[in-house]
Amino acid sequence: MAIIKKNILGILQGSLSNLVFRERNGKLVAYTRPIKQKVSKSKSAIAARNRFALTVSLAKEINRNEILSGVWNQSNVKATNAYQKIIKQNSKYTDSNNLTLKNIITPEGIPIKGIDIQYDDSSINVSLDCASLDRKLLDSNKLFCLVYLWNQQEGNTKILSKPQFNLQLFNFTLPELNRSISVNFIIDIKALNKPKHKHGIIYLALTGEKNKKFLWSSTLANKFI
């Protein structure tokens, strides 16, 4: 950026060659016009853009939830904020056309067991058997379920120019947990699954908060379609 001290041409606005002129705070300012970059159409470049776009979509959906954002902020993943931590941890797991069973909605935490998934075209039934939970997770008060649906053909390795997918985060408030109970939740996915998708993964995690500190489980992923 350069400030033009003396304007011998009168009031100058617009562009000239690679310079753009604007008046700001009573002064004439010249900017260098940005060079247009050609977007690469190579397979590797498309794959990299797809992985990044998918990871960003996942990170935005997770980070907009205040509790999960707080969990990521509390984690010891090295990054400036929760959003960057989510991207950092998930980018290595995302495929060129879709998320995978290795993607996560929580940082590494307490292993989670005792969850059963049943699915039909309009809903997912999640059953939590508290007898199988780690004792620490009995202090959980939230169950998070992120549903991800996509349409890649089975066995098709072609890199898509723009993957088609839907994802949505659901959360449920838990009753007071003890080893003698099971809890069930139904996730309505009628709207999310239109048109009907060929593949689906659900990512599940438990969280709790005590003395202003979060506890959380690792992510459990299940391919239900």
pLDDT by residue, tens only, the chain of 225 residues: 555 555 545 554 545 556 666 666 666 666 676 666 566 778 888 889 999 999 999 999 999 999 999 999 999 999 999 999 999 999 999 998 899 999 999 999 999 999 999 999 899 999 999 999 999 999 999 999 999 999 875 555 677 767 789 999 999 999 999 999 999 999 999 999 988 899 999 999 999 998 889 999 999 999 999
Tally Cβ neighbours within 10 Å of residue 205: 27
Neighbour order of strands in the sheet with 182-188: 115-119, 123-129, 182-188
Q: What angle do CA 221, 60, 150 make, to 5 degrees?
A: 50
Strand partners, 107: none
Pairwise CA distance, residues 5 & 210, whole Å: 62
Q: Is the peptide bond before 195 cis (omega within 30 degrees of 0)?
A: yes
Q: Cα dist. 41→45, 51, 193 in Å?
A: 6, 15, 31
Q: What pLDDT sits at residue 163?
A: 79
Pairwise CA distance, residues 139 & 223, whole Å: 27
Structural contact between residues 146 and 202, judged by C-beta atoms closer than 8 angstroms: yes
Pairwise CA distance, residues 207 & 216, whole Å: 4
Q: Among 146, 129, 141, which Cα is nearest to 222's?
A: 146
Pairwise CA distance, residues 126 & 115, whole Å: 7
Strands (DSSP E) contained in 130-193 are 142-150, 165-173, 182-188
Q: What pLDDT sits at residue 8?
A: 47
Q: Among 97, 74, 79, which Cα is nearest to 89's?
A: 79
What's the token pair of residue 117? Answer: 């998934």
